[in-house]
Amino acid sequence: MNIFNDLNPLVTVYIPTYNRVDLLERAVTSVLKQTYINLEIIIVDDCSIDDTHDYLEELAKREKRVRYFIQEKNSGSCASRNIAIKNAKGFFITGLDDDDYFEESRIEEFISKWKKKSINTKVLYSLYGRENEKNPSKAKRIFKRMFFKKKVDSKDLLYFFYTGNQIFTETKLLQDNLFDVSLPAWQDFECFYRLLDNYDCNAELIYKKNYIVDTSHEYERISTKGLYNIKKAFALFKEKHKLNNTESKLLYCHLYNYPDIKISKIIILRRFFYKASILDIKRLVNIKVAK
């Protein structure tokens, strides 16, 4: 059955939130202003103690496309995401962190791409911009476009987290591959890797910078984790998916992105020979040499 034969399919956008009502309002507004209007927004509040509850109650009264849930105890953003995913009514689903926001055409561009995607593609992802980087240099823009692959599978994610922390896919697929709340970090990375691996499918890129990551505010970001949790997540990921030696070394290179974690040049070189990349040349020049 072609989902596009009759009506534009319903798309669920899930937003976990905690004690950031001002940023949440911006995130919600960015979804309500989408050029694609057949949407539902599910907000899950992780037991906030600010004005979030009042805002959600008022919002749901005036906007029929919004539903919300309130956790009785603070359980973390991925537990909140899972509540939203389980209750989603959309044929498609995508996520938004409460401190980030969508450009107005994001959902429409995903829908348009889905109609033209490859048969084995079950996930879409996009480029993203940063709130504190309005006008990146031309060289940096070209580098990003050259580096990002048009199509990736689960093994590509071990090399680099191409999809980022938000994807667009069929709701039933994400409902069958919920976020693993037992992981102390990397839940989005592990979830998307598992989805691609379980279905032996691809994620396809749309060359649109239609998701904006805001790191300019003073609140803690949802993805912020301690080094202990990052290292533990690495070990659990490797064990859960029974990674071989090569796969484990590729995964270990993800630790390069965290401060105070030292990576051996030998590991980076092995990664380079697995797949030559300008990114690894840059890393070798700037690497924090392991003792």
pTM of the shown model: 0.87
For the chain, 291 residues long, give each residue's pLDDT as a single digit of tens. 566 555 699 999 999 999 999 999 999 999 999 999 999 999 999 999 999 999 999 999 999 999 999 999 999 999 999 999 999 999 999 999 999 999 999 999 999 999 999 999 999 999 998 876 555 444 445 445 555 678 999 999 998 899 999 999 999 999 999 999 999 999 999 999 999 999 999 999 999 899 999 887 666 654 445 788 999 999 999 999 999 988 998 898 888 777 667 766 676 676 666 665 655 565 555 554 443
Q: What is the DSSP string of 6-61?
A: SSPPPEEEEEEESS-HHHHHHHHHHHHT-S---EEEEEEE-S--SSHHHHHHHHHH
Spans of all domains in the chain? 11-213, 232-286
Give the long-range contacts of residues 283-291, CB within 8 A, separation 24 or more. 283/256, 287/256, 287/263, 288/261, 288/262, 288/263, 289/262, 289/264, 289/265, 290/262, 290/263, 290/264, 290/265, 291/262
Q: Are 262 and 289 contacting, i.e. CB atoms less than 8 angstroms apart?
A: yes
Contact 188, 179 (CB under 8 A): yes
Rounded Cα distance between 40 and 53, Å, is 19
CATH pick for 11-213 out of 3.90.550.10, 3.30.1360.30, 3.30.1240.10, 1.10.132.20: 3.90.550.10
